[in-house]
Amino acid sequence: MAPVGGGLYQQGFAGDTFNTVWHMAQLLDGQSKVGFLTKVGQDSLSDAFVSELRNDGLDVAMIGRDPARTMGLYMIELDGVERSFHYWRDSSAARALAEDPAWLTSHFMGTGLIHLSGITLAILSDTARDNLLAALSDARTAGARVSFDPNIRPSLWASKTGIQETIAMFLEQCDIALPSFDDEQTHWGDQTPEDTLNRFAAAGLTEVVLKNGADSVAALVNGTEHLIATPKVTGLRDTSGAGDAFNAGYLSARLQGSGPVEAIRQGQLVAGEVIQHFGARIPKSELVKLAQK
């Protein structure tokens, strides 16, 4: 449920990894096959979600259906243009997306890029996390690359220690990291963006791109550092989904052969557009314009 002004909310489908792959599917426009792996219910709301994805060009073959659960609910609250979240997702089918290791592994095989987030890790059981970790390892052995946005939501975690230990464990199976400096500063005590880049590099990642709100994006890619100023955006309405949109722009550009600097600028362009609209996704009419730039 996303605010649209005047005390009103609009029902829609969103979520960090979904926002990213949805934007990627629109930006790539059939140049690469983009799918979303999750589980939903067998109710009318879940049916509408799957239909929307299919109509918007995403592959829905990796969406499992759970007759005992439905979709999670979250509400975005705005303070000016800054957002916070309220969650109702204890019965969410997505919490069971990694309970069946064979199902998970079968869908990972043959993929070129897998993108996941810390929110995914936060909602899984310990057993499901182990299943996911093993499936990612097998997929990387088979040639896939793994992209990870830590995207920390403290209310979804039991403790700060749990956040640190779980994310450190998953970084071992990742190739690309797309963290946000405010998260890293809060939960790891990083003093500067360079601290974050160096910590991720020490964990073995060769491609680290650090988002930092309106400040410059810092990156460390194959040993080369980059610092790209973020263009000023006017007409801000809602910062929901800004990081997810950046991820989509960056990853889409990289898939199309762009270097890291050009990909960062594409990420900034897409993020700058989403914050000029209510909700976490850009209207498709506006995305078409971005894809043409």
Cβ–Cβ < 8 Å for 278, 265: no
Sequence ranges of the domains in the chain: 16-69+94-292
Each residue's pLDDT tens digit, 24-40? 999 998 999 999 999 99
For the CA atoms of 58, 175, 130, 25, the dihedral, rounded to the nearest 10 degrees, stands at -10
Burial pattern 235-250, b for ≥16 Cβ within 10 A else e, equals: eebbbbbbbbbbbbbb
Residue 74 neighbours by CB distance under 10 Å: 15
Q: Which residues contact 176 (CB under 8 A, 6 or more apart)?
A: 145, 146, 147, 148, 205, 207, 208, 209, 251
Q: Which residues contact 10 (CB under 8 A, 6 or more apart)?
A: 1, 2, 3, 4, 278, 279
Single pTM value for the model: 0.94
Each residue's pLDDT tens digit, 47-77? 999 999 999 999 999 999 999 999 999 888 8
Query: Catalytic residue numbers?
Result: 244
CATH superfamily of 16-69+94-292: Ribokinase (3.40.1190.20)
Each residue's pLDDT tens digit, 125-143? 999 999 999 999 999 999 9
Residue 172 neighbours by CB distance under 10 Å: 12
DSSP character string of 93-105: GGGGTTS-HHHHH
Q: 266 or 79: which carries more pLDDT confidence?
A: 266
